[in-house]
Amino acid sequence: MHPALKETAHRPWPVPPGRWTWRQSWCDLLFAHWPVPAAALRPLVPEALTIQTFDGSSWVGVVPFRMEGVMRRPWPDLPWISAFPELNVRLYVEKDGKPGVWFLSLDAANPVAVWAARTFFHLPYYWARMDIRPTDDGIAYASTRRRDDVRFEAHYRPSSTPYAATPGTLEHFLTERYCLYAQTKRGRLLRTEVHHAPWPLQRAEADIAQNEVLAPWGLQADGDPLLHFARRLDVIVWPPEAVEETTR
Protein backbone atom coordinates (compact mmCIF):
# COMPACT_ATOMS: atom_id res chain seq x y z
CA MET A 1 0.00 0.00 0.00
CA HIS A 2 1.28 3.44 -0.88
CA PRO A 3 2.02 5.58 2.22
CA ALA A 4 -0.49 8.20 1.05
CA LEU A 5 -3.33 5.72 1.56
CA LYS A 6 -2.68 5.41 5.29
CA GLU A 7 -4.91 8.49 5.76
CA THR A 8 -8.18 8.82 3.85
CA ALA A 9 -10.83 10.09 6.30
CA HIS A 10 -9.97 13.73 5.57
CA ARG A 11 -11.01 13.50 1.91
CA PRO A 12 -14.12 15.41 0.77
CA TRP A 13 -15.19 12.34 -1.27
CA PRO A 14 -14.08 8.67 -1.21
CA VAL A 15 -10.82 7.44 -2.68
CA PRO A 16 -11.47 6.73 -6.37
CA PRO A 17 -12.16 3.15 -7.44
CA GLY A 18 -9.63 1.40 -9.60
CA ARG A 19 -5.86 1.42 -9.48
CA TRP A 20 -3.84 4.60 -9.20
CA THR A 21 -1.24 4.79 -11.96
CA TRP A 22 1.36 7.42 -11.03
CA ARG A 23 3.23 8.36 -7.87
CA GLN A 24 5.23 11.45 -6.98
CA SER A 25 6.40 13.54 -4.05
CA TRP A 26 6.21 17.33 -3.80
CA CYS A 27 9.12 18.81 -1.83
CA ASP A 28 10.32 22.21 -0.51
CA LEU A 29 7.11 23.80 -1.76
CA LEU A 30 5.91 27.38 -1.44
CA PHE A 31 2.29 28.41 -1.83
CA ALA A 32 2.12 32.12 -2.76
CA HIS A 33 -1.49 33.30 -3.18
CA TRP A 34 -3.09 36.58 -4.23
CA PRO A 35 -6.81 37.50 -4.36
CA VAL A 36 -8.11 38.14 -7.87
CA PRO A 37 -11.62 39.16 -9.03
CA ALA A 38 -13.49 36.17 -10.42
CA ALA A 39 -14.41 38.23 -13.50
CA ALA A 40 -10.72 38.48 -14.41
CA LEU A 41 -10.43 34.68 -14.37
CA ARG A 42 -13.59 33.78 -16.27
CA PRO A 43 -12.00 34.06 -19.76
CA LEU A 44 -9.17 31.77 -18.63
CA VAL A 45 -11.33 28.82 -17.55
CA PRO A 46 -13.78 26.59 -19.48
CA GLU A 47 -17.41 27.61 -19.03
CA ALA A 48 -18.24 24.15 -17.64
CA LEU A 49 -16.13 24.90 -14.56
CA THR A 50 -17.32 27.14 -11.74
CA ILE A 51 -14.69 29.57 -10.49
CA GLN A 52 -14.71 29.29 -6.71
CA THR A 53 -14.50 32.17 -4.27
CA PHE A 54 -13.78 32.46 -0.57
CA ASP A 55 -15.37 35.39 1.25
CA GLY A 56 -16.06 36.99 -2.11
CA SER A 57 -12.59 36.65 -3.64
CA SER A 58 -11.09 34.24 -6.13
CA TRP A 59 -7.42 33.39 -5.77
CA VAL A 60 -4.42 32.68 -7.98
CA GLY A 61 -1.54 30.60 -6.68
CA VAL A 62 2.11 30.55 -7.74
CA VAL A 63 3.74 27.36 -6.50
CA PRO A 64 7.48 26.64 -6.84
CA PHE A 65 8.73 23.26 -5.62
CA ARG A 66 10.68 20.19 -6.65
CA MET A 67 9.42 16.77 -7.68
CA GLU A 68 10.80 13.45 -6.47
CA GLY A 69 9.81 9.86 -7.18
CA VAL A 70 7.83 10.69 -10.32
CA MET A 71 7.05 7.40 -12.04
CA ARG A 72 4.29 5.27 -13.45
CA ARG A 73 3.24 2.31 -11.35
CA PRO A 74 4.95 -0.16 -10.79
CA TRP A 75 8.26 1.01 -12.26
CA PRO A 76 11.16 2.21 -10.08
CA ASP A 77 12.55 5.72 -10.07
CA LEU A 78 14.83 6.54 -12.98
CA PRO A 79 17.84 8.88 -12.77
CA TRP A 80 17.12 12.39 -14.13
CA ILE A 81 13.60 11.37 -15.20
CA SER A 82 12.03 11.07 -11.72
CA ALA A 83 13.27 14.26 -10.02
CA PHE A 84 13.16 17.87 -11.25
CA PRO A 85 12.00 21.39 -10.27
CA GLU A 86 8.50 22.55 -11.16
CA LEU A 87 6.59 25.85 -11.01
CA ASN A 88 2.79 26.05 -11.23
CA VAL A 89 0.24 28.82 -11.70
CA ARG A 90 -3.16 27.60 -10.49
CA LEU A 91 -6.77 28.64 -10.03
CA TYR A 92 -9.57 27.13 -7.93
CA VAL A 93 -12.59 25.66 -9.66
CA GLU A 94 -15.42 23.18 -9.17
CA LYS A 95 -17.43 20.75 -11.26
CA ASP A 96 -20.25 18.47 -10.05
CA GLY A 97 -19.49 19.18 -6.40
CA LYS A 98 -15.77 18.33 -6.71
CA PRO A 99 -13.51 21.32 -6.04
CA GLY A 100 -10.19 21.11 -7.85
CA VAL A 101 -7.36 22.97 -9.52
CA TRP A 102 -7.16 24.51 -12.98
CA PHE A 103 -3.58 25.15 -14.13
CA LEU A 104 -2.78 28.16 -16.26
CA SER A 105 0.82 27.00 -16.67
CA LEU A 106 3.27 24.45 -15.34
CA ASP A 107 7.00 24.92 -15.89
CA ALA A 108 9.37 21.99 -15.47
CA ALA A 109 13.09 21.45 -15.99
CA ASN A 110 12.64 18.00 -17.52
CA PRO A 111 11.60 17.90 -21.21
CA VAL A 112 10.46 14.27 -20.91
CA ALA A 113 8.11 15.21 -18.07
CA VAL A 114 6.82 18.15 -20.12
CA TRP A 115 6.07 15.87 -23.06
CA ALA A 116 4.44 13.17 -20.92
CA ALA A 117 2.21 15.61 -19.01
CA ARG A 118 1.09 17.35 -22.20
CA THR A 119 0.47 14.03 -23.95
CA PHE A 120 -1.25 11.97 -21.25
CA PHE A 121 -2.76 14.60 -18.92
CA HIS A 122 -3.36 17.48 -21.39
CA LEU A 123 -1.74 19.99 -19.05
CA PRO A 124 -0.08 23.24 -20.22
CA TYR A 125 3.52 22.35 -19.35
CA TYR A 126 6.52 24.35 -20.54
CA TRP A 127 10.20 23.45 -20.58
CA ALA A 128 12.28 25.84 -18.46
CA ARG A 129 15.77 26.39 -17.14
CA MET A 130 15.34 25.97 -13.40
CA ASP A 131 17.40 25.83 -10.23
CA ILE A 132 16.34 25.02 -6.67
CA ARG A 133 18.81 24.72 -3.83
CA PRO A 134 18.84 24.88 -0.04
CA THR A 135 20.40 27.86 1.71
CA ASP A 136 21.30 28.43 5.35
CA ASP A 137 17.74 29.56 6.16
CA GLY A 138 15.51 28.41 3.31
CA ILE A 139 15.22 27.65 -0.40
CA ALA A 140 16.59 29.62 -3.36
CA TYR A 141 14.54 29.15 -6.51
CA ALA A 142 14.94 30.45 -10.07
CA SER A 143 13.09 29.62 -13.31
CA THR A 144 13.26 30.96 -16.87
CA ARG A 145 10.93 29.51 -19.49
CA ARG A 146 12.89 28.52 -22.57
CA ARG A 147 10.25 29.53 -25.08
CA ASP A 148 9.59 33.12 -24.01
CA ASP A 149 11.90 33.90 -21.07
CA VAL A 150 9.07 34.18 -18.51
CA ARG A 151 10.91 34.36 -15.19
CA PHE A 152 10.35 33.66 -11.53
CA GLU A 153 12.94 34.07 -8.77
CA ALA A 154 12.47 33.86 -5.02
CA HIS A 155 14.03 32.92 -1.73
CA TYR A 156 11.60 31.41 0.76
CA ARG A 157 11.62 29.76 4.16
CA PRO A 158 9.24 28.20 6.71
CA SER A 159 8.49 30.29 9.80
CA SER A 160 6.47 27.91 12.00
CA THR A 161 6.14 24.28 12.93
CA PRO A 162 3.98 22.06 10.67
CA TYR A 163 0.21 21.96 11.16
CA ALA A 164 -2.89 20.79 9.28
CA ALA A 165 -5.26 23.43 7.93
CA THR A 166 -8.62 23.67 9.70
CA PRO A 167 -11.66 22.91 7.51
CA GLY A 168 -13.54 26.08 6.66
CA THR A 169 -10.45 28.30 6.65
CA LEU A 170 -8.92 30.02 3.65
CA GLU A 171 -5.73 27.96 3.82
CA HIS A 172 -7.79 24.76 3.77
CA PHE A 173 -9.75 26.07 0.77
CA LEU A 174 -6.52 26.82 -1.12
CA THR A 175 -4.57 23.65 -0.39
CA GLU A 176 -6.80 20.65 0.36
CA ARG A 177 -7.86 19.70 -3.18
CA TYR A 178 -8.06 16.20 -4.53
CA CYS A 179 -8.50 16.59 -8.27
CA LEU A 180 -7.34 18.71 -11.16
CA TYR A 181 -9.11 19.67 -14.36
CA ALA A 182 -7.73 19.92 -17.88
CA GLN A 183 -9.04 20.20 -21.41
CA THR A 184 -8.01 18.38 -24.57
CA LYS A 185 -7.37 20.21 -27.84
CA ARG A 186 -10.76 18.94 -29.04
CA GLY A 187 -12.55 20.50 -26.07
CA ARG A 188 -13.10 17.47 -23.85
CA LEU A 189 -13.00 18.38 -20.16
CA LEU A 190 -11.02 15.93 -18.01
CA ARG A 191 -10.81 15.31 -14.28
CA THR A 192 -7.72 13.69 -12.74
CA GLU A 193 -8.12 12.41 -9.20
CA VAL A 194 -5.22 12.56 -6.73
CA HIS A 195 -4.74 11.53 -3.13
CA HIS A 196 -2.39 12.50 -0.34
CA ALA A 197 -2.37 12.99 3.42
CA PRO A 198 -3.43 16.41 4.76
CA TRP A 199 -0.89 19.05 3.84
CA PRO A 200 1.83 19.51 6.52
CA LEU A 201 1.67 23.27 6.17
CA GLN A 202 4.02 25.78 7.76
CA ARG A 203 3.69 29.53 7.73
CA ALA A 204 6.30 31.05 5.46
CA GLU A 205 8.29 34.12 4.49
CA ALA A 206 9.46 34.89 0.97
CA ASP A 207 11.52 37.44 -0.93
CA ILE A 208 10.13 37.32 -4.47
CA ALA A 209 12.62 39.09 -6.74
CA GLN A 210 10.85 38.33 -10.05
CA ASN A 211 7.34 37.10 -10.77
CA GLU A 212 6.47 37.21 -14.47
CA VAL A 213 4.36 34.05 -14.60
CA LEU A 214 1.05 35.89 -14.15
CA ALA A 215 1.64 38.48 -16.86
CA PRO A 216 0.79 36.23 -19.86
CA TRP A 217 -2.73 35.96 -18.44
CA GLY A 218 -3.21 39.66 -17.77
CA LEU A 219 -3.10 39.05 -14.00
CA GLN A 220 -1.27 41.07 -11.39
CA ALA A 221 0.15 40.11 -8.00
CA ASP A 222 -1.13 43.07 -6.02
CA GLY A 223 -0.08 43.42 -2.40
CA ASP A 224 1.65 40.95 -0.13
CA PRO A 225 0.91 37.29 -0.88
CA LEU A 226 -0.50 34.76 1.53
CA LEU A 227 2.40 32.35 2.08
CA HIS A 228 2.66 28.71 3.18
CA PHE A 229 5.48 26.16 3.02
CA ALA A 230 5.47 22.36 2.94
CA ARG A 231 8.57 20.20 3.25
CA ARG A 232 7.21 17.06 1.58
CA LEU A 233 3.95 15.42 0.51
CA ASP A 234 3.63 11.96 -1.07
CA VAL A 235 0.96 11.78 -3.80
CA ILE A 236 -0.74 9.17 -5.98
CA VAL A 237 -2.57 9.93 -9.21
CA TRP A 238 -5.34 8.17 -11.15
CA PRO A 239 -5.81 8.33 -14.96
CA PRO A 240 -7.76 11.30 -16.32
CA GLU A 241 -11.47 10.72 -16.93
CA ALA A 242 -13.77 12.68 -19.24
CA VAL A 243 -16.28 14.93 -17.46
CA GLU A 244 -18.09 16.30 -20.49
CA GLU A 245 -17.60 17.72 -23.95
CA THR A 246 -17.11 21.48 -23.85
CA THR A 247 -15.39 24.32 -25.61
CA ARG A 248 -13.09 26.90 -24.15
Coil/strand/helix, residue 64: strand
- Look up the CATH superfamily of 3-13+20-245: Acetoacetate decarboxylase-like (2.40.400.10)
What type of residue sits at position 63? V
**Residue closest to 201 by CA, chosen among 248, 155, 165:** 165
Q: So what's the pLDDT on residue 244? A: 74
Buried b or exposed e, range 105-127, using 16+ CB within 10 angstroms: bbbbbbeebbebbeeebbbebbb
Q: Domain-by-domain residue ranges, the chain?
A: 3-13+20-245
Give the CA count within 13 Å in the CB-facing half-sphere of 167.
4
What integer pLDDT is reported at residue 245 of this predicted model?
56
pLDDT tens-place values along the chain, 248 residues long: 899 999 999 999 999 999 999 999 999 999 999 999 999 999 999 999 999 999 999 999 999 999 999 999 999 999 989 999 999 999 999 999 999 999 999 999 999 999 999 999 999 999 999 999 999 999 999 999 999 999 999 999 999 999 999 999 999 999 999 999 999 999 999 999 999 999 999 999 999 999 999 999 999 888 999 999 999 999 999 999 999 755 44
Longest dimension (CA), the chain: 50
pTM score: 0.96
CA distance 56 to 36: 10
Could you give the CA distance from residue 216 to residue 214 in angstroms, rounded to a whole number? 6
